[in-house]
Structure 1
Amino acid sequence: MTRFSLFAAAVSTVAIASGAQAQERTQFQYWYGLTGQLGEVVQKQCDLFNASQDKYEAVCSGQGGYDAAEQNTIAAYRAEQHPTVVQIYDAGTVNFMLSGAIYPANKFAEEHGIDVDWDAYFPGIANYYATSTGDMWSFPYNSSTAVLYWNKDEWAKIGKDKAPATWAEFAADLKALKEAGVECGFAFDFDTWMNLEQFSAMNGLPIATLDNGYGGLGAEVVFHQTAFVDHMKNFKDWMDAGYAKIQTSQVGKNLIQAFADGSCASTTSSIANHGVVKSTQAEGMNWDVAMLPVLEEGKRTNSLVGGASLWVMDGKSDEEYEAAAAFLKYVTAADTGEKYIAENTGYIPVTTDGFELLKSEGFYDREEIAGREVAIESLTASDVTPLSRGIRLGNFTSIRAEVRAELEAAFTGQKDIETALNDAADRSNQILRRYEQTYRGADLP
């Protein structure tokens, strides 16, 4: 049995279990990629929507991860068994824009009575998902960005009460922490969203030509020719000197575990993990979050958004679209949507309306929440530039995998940094050329 037929069987089971409700309400399918506790939050939001009225029913199905949500949706569309709404992560944006299978969000909102103030979305979020003309083809949903998690008690050992503002200051701090007896000053892994994408955006460095791919499908990667190479060399030097450690699930624990249990004094990760650190931290641990260091103080560009947006799929009935519109109104509203996600995860509000609502209710004054507003500061640290707008490269998931694999090879001593990144660039450009050939003659929206 194929993967899709297995999934179809699962959908059928859900439909049968719905029983009488299917006769009373207009149903539509919503597929999401979040898993674990975050997936439970999404499912609960579906339940809350269904309980809020008696006309529509969202049949919500977790797909077991972002990659699976994208691939399952593509397979289902080909079989004409696709959902009405699907949650697709940032890296899948260009694939869906070129798919010919979606109902653009701005058009859907206009035609189905959803009053959306598109200008209220934070520019760092809106620009990632917008077309070249600024039209929003999906609804930003769960959003995050990168921050520095740092142990204030460990930094106090070197006489400092502020997080380092530059990478040079961070390097000096790591050396001082080691001399002060701190066993691990910094935990890192091979993640490209953190190490390459955020670093490049915040320091005004290109990842690819044609404004990181926004200018067309002929883009080529150039990350192997920028300060990113020296940045990774510094990471390697810190590791070799005993200032930093690689922390992945394969070597015992991941970054957040290593930071939360006090094993390492700092790490870089998504603000979405703020709640995880708070709930799993070592007793009495005094920590905070800060914007990531930059290469040169005073020359900070906005960080990139991470997370996912909601796409409406083409080819569904008017009744399903009517139900989906009611659902999208609910999950994008400041109170039932943004507030709910922010209160139950580490994700941030995606609009100024949502942010102001949370601030007015004292959300960011709560002890367990304090620091999450740093993510907003990072996303709005500058006007969005052509290099901090986002990344629009075809099959970007595969490019991420190539860079990650080569970074792992470099940090485990199989290659030097330059060779590894050159190899990653060569294979990434091959991926881009194949993608360009697949969509030859097509223009990016």
Structure 2
Amino acid sequence: MHKTRHLTAGFLLAGLSMAALTSAATAQQTVVDFYYPIQVGGPLTQVIDGYVAEFEAANPDIDIVPVYSGNYQDTTTKALTAAKAGDPPALAVLLATDIFTLIDEDVIDPIDSFFSPEDQEWVDGFMPAYLASARVDGNLWSVPFQRSTAVLYWNKDAFAEAGLDPEKYPATWDEMVEFGKAVMTKDANGNVTRWGVGIPGNPGSAQWLFTALAAQNGARLMNDEGNEVYLTDPKVVEALQFWRDLSVVHGVHPPGIQEWGTTPSDFLEGRIAMVWTTTGNLTNILNNATFDFGLAPYPGNPDSASALGGGNLYVFKDASDEEKAAAMKFAKFLTSDELQADWAIQTGYVAPRDGSWETDTLKDYVAEVPAADVARQQIPTSVPEYSTHENARTTKVLNDAIAAALTGGKSPEQALSDAQAEIDRILRSYR
């Protein structure tokens, strides 16, 4: 059903003639429900509201209804539920890794099915690495919006206190362990007051950071078609063993599972000297850190590698043609070079358009905050985040395996072997 809204508010105050008011009263707006998550710190609902107001001022025939829907998982669940109930959002920011699930559920349309010839230049402006995760079977199913890579933040003051060079971040796994031991502190009772490193391992985060760990060890977790996983690859097993060993062997990592949601505050409050998290937390940390910190590419074994992350814009299939056209117009606005430059500054996400980095806005910001450019420099050594068909199911299996290994319920080798067998059963029909 085409959602419309009559335009009446504000016209009397504007002093329009009765004829103009009558004309306005009969005009209709196309209503676009826009679902979006917030996965990083900061007052981002106000930023989104500001973008919506700017767009609507230039497009009075379109009414964007922004719906903050929780984290990524919450937003995906709400969007799928609404779609199955016959009332989908026209546009949503969902994980790039949701692409197979959304196609399999038949709830989205390919973005390129709405193209006009001039749209190709807009599409060509996206970085190929991020655009690749939006293509399946020759179609472009979404466009990059709030993209990131996972990066390392380190507390330079803590490094200096430990006698380390505060400007030197760990380039290898061995250096991360060495530096982690040096920066740890304990109270008079022997309780740790500052840990060396924290890598979030809770569901929703573990698969992303494990993708990076495996890549650092020269391995991939899945194929590009999303129908095979390689969890029993010895290099993948070795990566999970290293993650566990950070705690139980080297003693530089908090025991058990580090939580994604508390990692920024653990870093800001000095409880952990090095943390793995998203570039999307840069602005939050920049605004709140009381110490000097740095942003760095991930260490490697031996070569640095990270995982691409973040969300894309998807257009839902059962929206009306008018809603889809309006949603596409808003999507192009949200992904313009200038707006992406502003969004990168407001959030810390990586602007996924080369043109954004050529704007005066972002050039000036990078000159002031060089850390903002670290993620962009890391993109060539970043791999796609774990994503398969039946992604919610297979990701849960993988996350459960990681949790079992990190908490000691199973050895890394057994946990990944069991996960491989279960995921093979899930993906068999997609081969």
- When normalised by structure 1's length, the TM-score is 0.80
Q: Is the 8 A contact 2:200 2:259 kept in 1?
A: no
Change in CA separation of 1:68 and 1:173 when aligned onto 2, cut-off 3 Å: closer
1:145-164: CA deviations, max 9, x gaps?
Answer: 10011112222323323111
Decide which structure has greater strand share.
2
Q: Decide which of 172, 196, 199 is 2:210's aligned counterpart.
A: 196
Question: Identity of paired residues, percent?
Answer: 24
For 2:83 and 2:378, how far apart are their aligned partners in 1? 37
Q: Which amino acid aligns with 1:421?
A: L
Does the alignment pair 1:312 with 2:312?
A: no
How far residue 389 of structure 1 moved from its aligned partner, in angstroms, is: 4.5
* Unaligned 5+ runs, structure 2: 11-24, 188-192
* Unaligned 5+ runs, structure 1: 1-11, 383-387, 441-445
**Where in structure 2 are the equivalents of 1:406-421 lying within 5 Å?**
406-421=401-416
How far residue 365 of structure 1 moved from its aligned partner, in angstroms, is: 1.7
Aligned residue number for residue 290 of structure 1:
296
**Where in structure 2 are the equivalents of 1:252-331 lying within 5 Å?**
254-281=262-289, 283=290, 285-297=291-303, 300=304, 303-331=306-334
SS at 2:92 equivalent: strand
Q: Is the 8 A contact 1:332 1:338 kept in 2?
A: yes
SS at 1:110 equivalent: coil
Instruction: Point out the more displaced range, 259-268 or 198-207.
Output: 198-207
For 1:268 and 1:82, how far apart are their aligned partners in 2? 35
How far residue 414 of structure 1 moved from its aligned partner, in angstroms, is: 2.5
For 1:18 and 1:260, how far apart are their aligned partners in 2? 47
Does the alignment pair 1:130 with 2:135?
A: yes
For 1:62 and 1:183, how far apart are their aligned partners in 2? 35
How far residue 24 of structure 1 moved from its aligned partner, in angstroms, is: 4.3
**Where in structure 2 are the equivalents of 1:378-417 lying within 5 Å?**
378-381=378-381, 388-417=383-412
SS at 2:310 equivalent: strand
Change in CA separation of 1:356 and 1:46 when aligned onto 2, cut-off 3 Å: same
1:199-253: CA deviations, max 9, x gaps?
Answer: 2335441213xxx2x2463x2x2223232322332333331343221486879x7
Q: Is the 8 A contact 1:158 1:180 kept in 2?
A: no
Aligned residue number for residue 431 of structure 1:
426
Aligned residue number for residue 359 of structure 2:
357
Q: Is the 8 A contact 2:257 2:407 kept in 1?
A: no
SS at 1:227 equivalent: helix
For 1:122 and 1:93, how far apart are their aligned partners in 2? 18
Q: Is the 8 A contact 1:223 1:425 kept in 2?
A: yes
Does the alignment pair 1:230 with 2:238?
A: yes
Change in CA separation of 1:60 and 1:178 when aligned onto 2, cut-off 3 Å: closer
Aligned residue number for residue 195 of structure 2:
184
Aligned residue number for residue 61 of structure 2:
55
Q: Is the 8 A contact 1:148 1:269 kept in 2?
A: yes
Does the alignment pair 1:372 with 2:380?
A: no
1:100-131: CA deviations, max 9, x gaps?
Answer: 332211221327x6454323222221111122
For 1:143 and 1:393, how far apart are their aligned partners in 2? 19
Change in CA separation of 1:263 and 1:17 when aligned onto 2, cut-off 3 Å: farther
Aligned residue number for residue 345 of structure 1:
347
Q: Is the 8 A contact 2:390 2:427 kept in 1?
A: yes
Aligned residue number for residue 422 of structure 1:
417
Q: CA RMSD in A?
A: 3.2
Q: Which amino acid aligns with 2:140?
A: M
Q: Which amino acid aligns with 1:127?
A: A
Q: Is the 8 A contact 2:241 2:412 kept in 1?
A: yes
1:23-44: CA deviations, max 9, x gaps?
Answer: 5423222222336733443333
Q: Is the 8 A contact 1:128 1:391 kept in 2?
A: no
- When normalised by structure 2's length, the TM-score is 0.82
